[in-house]
Structure 1
Amino acid sequence: MIVKQEKIFDSFFVKRALPANLVDEDLPYFQHEENRCFKSSHQYCLTAVKVISNGVVFNGRTVFTPSLYHSSFKEKYNKLRFKFKSLFFKRVVVKGKVIVAYNEYSNTPGFHWLCDTLPRLFSIKNQLSSSTLLLPYVNDRFHEYVKDCLKIFDTGAVVFLKDREMALVDQLLIPEMLAPTGNYREDIMKSLRSAFRANTLGNRKELGDKIYISREKSKHRKTVNEQEVSGVLEKYGFTKIYLEDYSLWEQVSIMKHAKFLVSNHGGGLSSMLFMPEQARVLEIRSFNDASNNCYFSLASALNLTYYYQFSEKPSESSNRNTNLRVDTKRLQLTIESMLNKSK
């Protein structure tokens, strides 16, 4: 494996706008994310490598670390169990220059695909038409979602790898993450927004300018008092939707016309990517969570006004997948503040 490393972006600094409804006692949850510096990012050119369906790259039996979501994941691919199992993977020969710009977390619609993978593709968009793009095949729904996303690019051939398949590649290009997950290059994110908003491909769908994305159909991060929350938001003119009921381009159209968005912490909030500048976003999130600030950071990168409401966890569970009980009296005050500041 010959590795050639080329810089695609210099290091950069971001200064984020703090939440519009921030109170002094909550400052520690956001202050550490207000000013951040990030290292330069690179692309890697490799030869004679193997790639499995989740985007992990191997030189022989050695993992190429920049292909991982996190370097700590390397351990599981060094275990004898995986090495033995991989001997039976179906080999797929992919000729010519091949691009891989996804990782183990890029296998569902929403946050990691829109905010991690698409920025990587955008960073090398001029090379897409002359290369073969390697992507994961998870299921039919994700397959269609990915194909819809690719319509904002001028792509060449696309090969979808299924589970237990391994691509044999002579020339591979990997653009690394442009920033750690949950952090963004503002110019790239705004360019992505413009690309999506420029064309909704005939799927015109308007549901008003106030949208509530419910997680009622999701497995995790639900609102346990969903009916109470829905009732409050309906009183203020919000339309309740389940994002999974709509195609990608219907989602783009809905959010293109939205000025206000409310949802729990979760992938639905990544659809703020399609909203106009100066729109307002309210994230309902768990108390004592100072680490999951990806949507606060995304709102700032897109020049959206961010609001938050901390909510109780009805049982002990991780911040990442916890259900929430929302204080509806406080929610009314937050919504009124959010709506009044737009006038």
Structure 2
Amino acid sequence: MAIPNAEPALRVLRRDDVLAAAADVDPVASVEATLLAHARGATTLPDEAYLPWHTASGAFARSLALPGAVWGDRPAVGLKIINSSLDNPGRGLPRAQGWTFLFDPDTARPIAMLEAAWISATRTAAYTVLSARLLAAPGVDRVAVLGCGALAEAHLDLLGAELPEASVVVHDLDPARARALAARRRAEVADDPRTAVDGAGLVVCTTTTTTGYLALDWLAPGALVAHVSLDDVLPEVVTGADLVVVDDWALVAADDRRLLGRMLREGTLAAPGESRPGARTVDATLADVVAGAHPGRAHEGDVVLSNPFGMGVLDVALAAAVHDAAVARGLGTLLDP
């Protein structure tokens, strides 16, 4: 007797499907709930896989694979693959794009494939919004955004709702890109990054630089730096900040490419709870702050550095929420195996 084919269909959610389903999802709530689960040990977060190369024109390109799982009543298990080439904007393409896969937690079969760029940028922006809620000084009235690509757009989408009264100033090495973003967002354009940062209560770094430039004395008292691009600040910002918060120390420690991983290997940075001569100890993770295990900002005038590495579980959890909304709406294309 033949056994019926029980293989599940794969639901493919292209960008339009993702955007339609996302209207029913609160990405900041998703990030907060996932960080709380992480603080309680209810996640699995392996190291990312990283494949770098250079294109025929010499531009840097890379592929990242970030697996993760969030356990509980409705487990979310999956993998984000996102690739980028610095040449892509010149080709009329977004710098980064990929797919986020969701797996059935019982059969391990892939059940969904979602366009990854929006989810990746939005979970990063949602992390910044949550960081601002928990770590910013009261009354942020000026936001500086360094870098004016898709990640900057995602941040301004969410920050516009979170801080509607704050003025926004943007800067990019490409002045035309900065002017275009400013026109869409009614923002001010700064000719240089120091002018952009001057007086800002929230500084959001969304560039692709691998060379630090942002100095500690640029920052206003009480500033929160959302260092999501990972190489904009100089080491003096890490060592001189009153509070340094990461997303996951194990991910930071395993990486030797970004600033904090390099500082760890140089002996100028130490793990949370560890004290070493000549090393600045990381104070906490944002999950610690969400869970109430760390108080966060101590004084209104403190300079705070939020330096998330990028947790695959945040992508997987947000993708699962978008997938549930898409199923409820009947969105996507079903592919039989």
TM-score by length of 2: 0.27
| Bigger relative contact order, structure 1 or 2 (CA pairs below 8 A, ≥6 apart) | 2
Q: How high is the TM-score relative to the length of structure 1?
A: 0.26
